[in-house]
Amino acid sequence: MVRRLRWLLAVIALTFVAAGARAQTDLTPVFQQALEKAATALLDSPGIAVIVQAPRRGIDWRSAVGKADPAGTALTPDHPFRVASITKAFVGAAILRLEEEGKLSLAQPIALLIAPETAALLRSGGYDPDRITVRQLLDHTSGLRDFYDDPAYEKAMLSQPQRRWSRAEQIAIAMKVGPAHGAPGERFHYVDTGYSLLGEILERTTGKGMGPALRQLLPYERLGLSHTWLESLEPAPAGVKPRVHQYASGVDMTAADPSYDLYGGGGLVSTLDDVGQLFRGILRGQVFRDPATLASALTLVTAQSGEGYMMQARPALFAPEKVGPHSCLGLGGYYGALVVHCPSIDLTIGFSANTANPDSFDVASTFMAAVGAALGTTPSAAR
C-alpha cells in the first residue's frame, strides 16, 4: 500500500512538472512576440530585458533584446541596473519594519526623527515638521514640493554628471520651488523629497548608513537578493555583471555620480529577479512579522488627487497595476523599469528599457497586458 502511494505521488508530481513545462513552451512564442513589439515601440531604447515568473504554472521565462553597452555586449535579464524610484519600495518596507520593532510610529511627526538642521531647513520653506507624519511621507501626502519640480535641477543633473549632490542641497532646492501642494494629509503628490527624509529617518533611527540599514531590516539573504546594492555607499556584491548603460535625454548616465538620485527616493542598483523577489516576499508575508503591517502598507489614503506624474493616490509601497484580467501591485523607475506582482495567480513580471522615455511605462504595461491575457483567468495551482 505504501509503495503504491509513493508511486501515485511520483506520477502526480511528474504530471505537474510536465504540465508546467508545456505551459511555458506553449506561451513562449506569445511572450517573445510581446517583447519584440515592445522593442519596436521603443526604438530609442538600447535594449529591453524582461522576466515572467509564475511558479504555480511552472513558468520562469526570461529574455532580452538589444545591447547592454556601446561596445555591443548582448543585454541579458541578469544585468544589474539603476532601479531609481523602485528603491522607494525597499525604503518604505524598511520604515514599516522599524514600526514593527517599536522604533517609530507611522503616526509620529517627523520633527524629532530628522536632524535639527533638516527640520530647520523645512521650516525655512514654510513647512512644519511637527505636523508632517511618517505615514504622510510614505504616502506622498506631506504637501512637500519635489526638487525635481525645479527644471534647473534636471538640467544640472544632465550637464554636470560628475557633481556630487547632498541630501541637504536637494531638500533646499525643494524649499524654493514654490508653495506647498497642500496641508499635510490633504493632497496626494508624488514627491522624492519625502523619501529623502525617510532615508534620513532610516539612518538616524538605526545608527547605520542607508545600505546597511536596508540589509538589517529586510531579509536580503533569505529572499536571495544577491545582486542588490546602494551605489557609491556600499560595494557591489562579488561576481555581479557590470551595470547596463542607461540614458536620459540622449545622455549616457552610466558614469554619472549617482547622488542626483541616491538618498531614499532612488540609489539602488539591482536586477529584475532581485526586485521581483522582494515584491513577492512582501506580498507573500515573508518580510513583515505582523500581517497588519502589510494591510496598513496597502491601505489607500484618503486624499485629493495630485497633478502631473502619477496623479492618483496610491498605497504606501506599491501602485495598483492591471495586467490583463489580473489586479496587481508594482512600482516603476525613472529609466523605464516596471516590476509588478499579481498575488491571485502568483505572477511576477519585470520590464526594463534602460532609457528615460515617458512612453516606456505604457509600453511596459502593454507587454504585461499581453502576458496576463495569455495566462488567462484559470486559477493557478495552490502552493
User: Is residue 312 a contact partner of residue 63, using CB atoms and an 8 Å limit?
Assistant: no
Q: Work out whether the CA dihedral 34, 37, 42, 44 comes out positive or negative.
A: positive
The pLDDT score that the predictor gives to residue 309 is 60
The pLDDT score that the predictor gives to residue 142 is 95
Q: Which three three-digit cell numbers place residue 130?
A: 511637527
The pLDDT score that the predictor gives to residue 314 is 73
User: Is residue 321 a contact partner of residue 333, using CB atoms and an 8 Å limit?
Assistant: no
User: Is residue 230 a contact partner of residue 135, using CB atoms and an 8 Å limit?
Assistant: no
The pLDDT score that the predictor gives to residue 25 is 65
Say how far apart CA 377 and CA 373 lie, in whole Å: 8
Apex 66 CA angle, 60 and 69, nearest 5 = 110
Say how far apart CA 320 and CA 292 lie, in whole Å: 19
- Would you give the distance in Å from CA 65 to the centre of its chain? 22
Tell me the pLDDT of the chain averaged across its residues. Answer: 90
The pLDDT score that the predictor gives to residue 299 is 87
The pLDDT score that the predictor gives to residue 19 is 40
Say how far apart CA 315 and CA 293 lie, in whole Å: 12
Backbone angles phi, psi at 14, to 5 degrees: -65, -35
> CB pairs under 8 A, 24+ apart, for 201-206?
201/95, 201/104, 201/110, 201/113, 201/114, 201/134, 202/91, 202/94, 202/95, 202/98, 202/264, 204/113, 204/114, 204/115, 205/98, 205/103, 205/104, 205/113, 206/98, 206/103
Produce one character per residue of 320-340: b if its CB has 16 or more CB atoms within 10 Å, e if not.
Answer: ebebbebebbbbbbbbbbbbb
The pLDDT score that the predictor gives to residue 304 is 75
The pLDDT score that the predictor gives to residue 58 is 92
Say how far apart CA 321 and CA 325 lie, in whole Å: 11
Apex 109 CA angle, 105 and 115, nearest 5 = 105
DSSP 21-75: HHHHHHHHHHHHHHHHHHHHH-TTSSEEEEEEEEGGGTEEEEEEEEBSSTT-PBP
Distances (CA, A) of 120 to 94, 171, 182: 25, 11, 19
Apex 319 CA angle, 246 and 233, nearest 5 = 45
Query: What number is the average pLDDT over the span 307-313?
Result: 63
Query: What number is the average pLDDT over the span 188-208?
Result: 96
> Would you say residue 252 has pLDDT above 70?
yes
Nearest to 251 by CA among 12, 46, 32, 28: 46
> Would you say residue 21 has pLDDT above 90?
no
> Would you say residue 11 has pLDDT above 70?
no
Apex 281 CA angle, 334 and 324, nearest 5 = 60
Query: What number is the average pLDDT over the span 282-288?
Result: 96
pLDDT tens profile 46-83: 999 999 999 999 999 999 999 999 999 999 999 999 99
User: Is residue 229 a contact partner of residue 269, using CB atoms and an 8 Å limit?
Assistant: yes
- Per-residue confidence band for 312, with pLDDT thresholds at 50, 70 and 90: low
pLDDT tens profile 206-231: 999 999 999 999 999 999 999 999 99
DSSP 326-348: EEEEEEEETTTEEEEEEGGGTEE
Q: Count of CB atoms within 10 A of residue 167's CB?
A: 20
Say how far apart CA 372 and CA 351 lie, in whole Å: 14
Query: What number is the average pLDDT over the span 33-51?
Result: 97
